[in-house]
A and B are shown apart, each in its own frame.
Chain A
Amino acid sequence: MSNAPAIVAAQEPVRRTPIALLDLIRTHRRVTFAFALVAVLFLIALVSPVISPHDPLAVRPDDSYLPPLTPGHVLGTDELGRDLLSRVLWGARVSLPVAFVAVAVGLFAGGLIGLVSGYAGGVADLLLMRFVDALLAFPGLILAIAVVAALGPGLRNAMIAIGIVAVPVYARLVRAVVLQLKQMEFIVATRALGATPLRLVLRHLIPNLLNPIIVQVSLSAGFAILAEATLSFLGLGAQLPTPDWGQMINAGASFLTNDPWLAIVPGAAISITVYSFNLLGDSLRDALDPRLRS
Chain B
Amino acid sequence: MTAYVLRRLLLMLPVAFLVTVGVFMLIHLSPGDPALIILGEDRSPQAIAQIHQELGLDKPLYVQYGIWLGHIVHGDWGRSITTHQPVAVAITERLPATIELGLTALLWSLLVAIPLGTIAAVRRGSVADSVATGITVAGVSIPNFFIGIVLIFVLSVTLRLFPFGGYVPFLTDPLESLRHVALPAIALGTAGAAINMRFTRSSMIEVLNHDYIRTARAKGASWRRVVFVHALKNALIPVVTIVGLQIGGIIEGAVVTETVFTWPGVGRLAVESIFNRDYTVVQGIVLLAAFSYMVANLLVDLAYAWLDPRISYA
**Residues of A bordering B, CB below 8 Å:** 130-131, 133-134, 137-142, 145-146, 148-152, 222, 226, 229-230, 233-236, 246, 249, 252-253, 256-257, 260, 263-264, 267, 270-271, 274-275, 278-279, 282
Contacts and interface: CB of A to CB of B under 8 A. Distances in A.
A236 B273 CA distance: 12
A281 to B, nearest CB: 10
A149 B150 CA distance: 28
Given A130-B18, A145-B270, A256-B157, A249 B137 contact: no
**A-B CB proximity, top 5 nearest:** A134-B18, A139-B252, A267-B146, A275-B141, A150-B29
A230 B15 contact: no
B143 A233 contact: yes
B153 A256 contact: yes
A235 B275 contact: yes
Contacts of A148: 274
B289 A142 contact: yes
A229 B14 CA distance: 33
A131 B271 CA distance: 27
A222 B140 CA distance: 9
Interface of B: 11, 14-16, 18-19, 21-23, 26-27, 29-31, 137-138, 140-143, 145-146, 149-150, 152-153, 157, 248-249, 251-253, 255-256, 259-260, 270-271, 274-275, 279, 282, 285-286, 289-290, 293-294, 297
A234 B26 contact: no
A135 to B, nearest CB: 8
B143 A271 contact: yes
Contact of A282 (B14, B15, B137, B271): B137
B140 A278 contact: yes
Contact of A141 (B141, B252, B294): B252
A151 B149 contact: no
A76 B11 CA distance: 56
Scoring B26, B249, B286 by chain A CB atoms within 10 A of each residue's CB, the highest score goes to B286
B22 A279 contact: no
A74 B36 CA distance: 50
Contacts of A270: 142-143, 146
Given A142-B251, A256-B157, A130 B14 contact: yes
B interface: dominant SS: helix
16 contacts: A130-B18, A137-B293, A140-B252, A142-B286, A145-B271, A145-B274, A146-B26, A149-B274, A152-B31, A226-B141, A249-B149, A264-B150, A274-B141, A274-B142, A275-B141, A282-B137
- Interface SS of A by simple majority: helix
A139 B251 contact: yes
A119 to B, nearest CB: 22
A1 to B, nearest CB: 9
A264 B279 CA distance: 34
Given A137-B18, A226-B141, A233-B145, 9 more contacts: A141-B252, A142-B286, A142-B290, A146-B23, A146-B282, A148-B274, A152-B30, A256-B149, A264-B149
B193 to A, nearest CB: 15
A229 B253 CA distance: 14
B290 A137 contact: yes
Given A230-B145, A253-B149, A145 B140 contact: no
Nearest to A277: B141
B143 A226 contact: yes
A224 to B, nearest CB: 13
A282 B249 CA distance: 23
Contact of B149 (A142, A222, A226, A263): A263
A137 B19 CA distance: 7
Given A130-B18, A270-B146, A139 B270 contact: no
Contact of A145 (B18, B27, B255, B297): B255
Contacts of B140: 274, 278
Contact of B141 (A235, A253, A278): A278
Nearest to A234: B271
Contacts of B150: 264, 267
Nearest to A230: B256
Contact of B286 (A146, A260, A274): A146
B290 A275 contact: no
Given A137-B15, A142-B286, A149-B279, A271 B141 contact: yes
A128 to B, nearest CB: 12
Contact of B289 (A134, A139, A236): A139
A184 to B, nearest CB: 22
Contacts of B142: 267, 270-271, 274-275
A139 B19 contact: no
Contacts of B29: 150-151
A278 to B, nearest CB: 5
A267 B151 CA distance: 13
A160 to B, nearest CB: 11
Q: Most chain-B CB neighbours within 10 Å: which of A131, A138, A149, A236?
A: A149
A124 B118 CA distance: 44
Contacts of B138: 271, 275
B76 to A, nearest CB: 21
Nearest to A274: B141
B14 A142 contact: no
B149 A138 contact: no
